[in-house]
Each structure stands twice: as structure tokens, then as C-alpha cells.
Amino acid sequence: MTDEQAQGVFLLEHLSDGIIRILERHVDPWLRANIWLIPGRDRSLLIDSGMGLWPLQSYIQGLVEKPVLCLSTHCHYDHAGGAYEFNERLSHPSEAEILKHPSRENVLINRFVGADTVKILAEDGYRAETYCIRPCPPSRPVDEGDVIDLGDRLFRVVHLPGHSPGSIGVWEEHTGILFSGDAVYDGELYDDYYHSSPEAYQETMRRMIEMPLDTIHPGHYASFGRPRFKDIAEDYLAGRRSPTCPASAGKS
Ligand SMILES: [Zn+2]
């Protein structure tokens, strides 16, 4: 695939604070994850990498010249699929084994990917029934408090377990920006996977409420500010946003 073709499969949006949001055009909007790019002076940070069906690395290097760190907020197929293309891969050590040996079960493909998930045949041989992500164990495991230094911007890793055991967020203190992965987004919040923990998820939500958050760039759907975050967090803690609760907010 040429770079021009690659540009056709990714949608790009410039947000404030120099942040770029990238989406996979042909993935069902309900399921597709946000890919975040933060260009830095010495290196750039890519947060999540989509399903891995299209050449992401060459597309990103067409946007930023500096070396790219590819951080996976967690191991699920829609977030870690493209990480295999990058030499520097950051993720939480508790999901390293899954990323080393991904299967349709352990990265949740069987639960979510169907015939309509991807609107075109992404590449020769892609079939919804056999698709799996490629192995992408972390080259640099990261955990709570670890610093990611882009030269002119400093981010910290926060461990946000619950949705999955190794879910992590990326936090910039002076702007109050949090890249939350699937710890929070404005939709139904999943805490019923084989490796989810509703108790840990609640603890994570309470912790985030205490953080001085200004803007959240989530794993899915649009970004939001603190007031909306508080509504979502309170909804979740009241049992109104998880799949097991009849009062769930539902799919968005
Ligand atoms: Zn997930």
C-alpha cells in the first residue's frame, strides 16, 4: 500500500495542545478506538494503534520526523493491533504475556469482531473469522509513576486497572490532560471480560475523580472535560454504565 492510500484509510484531526487524533476510516465507529499522536521535540508519543490492518508506522513517520514511542493502554485488539510495527513498545507488564501470544479469545476479537466490523477488505487475506493481532510484547514495560519524556513535554504513566488488569493512562500534570484508554469514555463501560475486575474498576474511577483532570482523551469516542467526566464516573459508580446493569447507558 502506498502512503497516499494509507492516508485514505486514516482520518486525522488536530485538537488543542498539539494533540492529533487518528481514526481508522473503515472500522465501525462503535468499535473503533482512538489513536493519539503527541509530537514532541525529541520524540513523539503514539497512544494506541488500532486494529493493525493498515500500515500505521509509515503513516505516522510521514507526520512526525522524530522517533516514535508506541504505548498500548491495554492489550485489546482495537488498541494494540498496530503496535507490532514499532520498535519501541510500551505497555504494562501484567499484559506482556497476552501481547506476546495474542489469541482471538485473550484480546477479545471473538466477542466483538464480526462481518460488519471492517467495511472493506483491508488487505489480501483479511477475513473477520480468522483475523488476529500480531505479537507485540513490550520492549519497555511501564507502570505507575514512570515518566515519558518527549523533550518538551513530560507525561506520567498511571495504572488504571479494572477494564483489564494492565490498563494504563498517560497523564500530563501541567495541562491536566489524561489519555485514559478504556478506563473511561462516554459510552458503556465494560467490566465483565474474562480479566476484568469491577472492584478494581470502581477503585480506578474513584481515583480519577480525585485527580485534577481538565481534559480526557479517551480510548473511544470524543474527548470531554471535567464536568462530563464527573457525570460518567458517577453514573458508573451508581451502576448505570456497565453491561451487567439493566440501567446501562447502552451502546453509543
Ligand atoms: Zn478494551
Q: In this model, does residue 3 exceed pLDDT 90?
A: no
Selection from 195, 160, 203, 166 nearest residue 179 by Cα: 160
pLDDT score for 120 = 77
Ligand 1 centroid to residue 74 C-alpha, Å: 7
Question: Where does the pLDDT of residue 50 fall: very low under 50, low under 70, confident under 90, or very high at 90 and above?
Answer: very high
Structural domain containing residue 141: 3-237
C-alpha cell at 109: 476479537
248 domain-assigned: no
246 domain-assigned: no
φ/ψ of 58, rounded to 5, equals -70, -35
Ligand 1 centroid to residue 60 C-alpha, Å: 23
Structure pTM? 0.94
Ligand 1 centroid to residue 52 C-alpha, Å: 15
Q: How far apart are CA 119 and CA 139, in angstroms?
A: 32
Ligand 1 centroid to residue 41 C-alpha, Å: 30
252 domain-assigned: no
Q: What is the CATH number of the domain that holds 96?
A: 3.60.15.10
Q: In this model, does residue 243 exceed pLDDT 90?
A: no
Ligand 1 centroid to residue 111 C-alpha, Å: 11
Question: What is the arithmetic mean of pLDDT over 215-237?
Answer: 97
Neighbours of ion ligand 1 (CB under 5 A): 76, 182
Q: How far apart are CA 109 and CA 78, in angstroms?
A: 9
pLDDT score for 7 = 59
Ligand 1 centroid to residue 63 C-alpha, Å: 26
Q: How far apart are CA 247 and CA 234, in angstroms?
A: 13
Higher pLDDT, 115 or 98: 98
